[in-house]
Amino acid sequence: MLGAIVGSHDYDWKEAEEQFKVARASESLPPEVHLSYSLNYLLPLGRFEEAIQECAKAMAHDPLNDMIHAIQVWIILCAGM
């Protein structure tokens, strides 16, 4: 959550990157971490391909979650794909 707050509210992208690096250090991440990283860090920086990949990782954990599918569609729309 710290990475999302620092990126979304403070626009401190270096600190957000560090916070997400710490959050993503674990081998087993909940889907919410992948979604937050894609929406609150990768997407605002225009790193669409990486954001789509992170969404796919979340989807692999919870393939029936409609919210994950909706977020992936949003990222694809933002990318102009």
Between CA 23 and CA 26 the distance in angstroms is 7
Between CA 21 and CA 78 the distance in angstroms is 24
DSSP 11: -
pTM of the model: 0.83
Residue 34: partners with Cβ closer than 8 Å, 6 or more residues away: 54, 55, 57, 58, 61
Report how far apart, in Å, the C-alpha atoms of 79 and of each of 51, 57, 69 are.
Answer: 10, 18, 15
- pLDDT tens for the chain, 81 residues long, are 767 777 777 777 888 888 888 888 887 788 888 998 898 899 999 999 999 999 999 999 999 999 999 999 999 999 987
Domains of the chain: 2-79 (1.25.40.10)
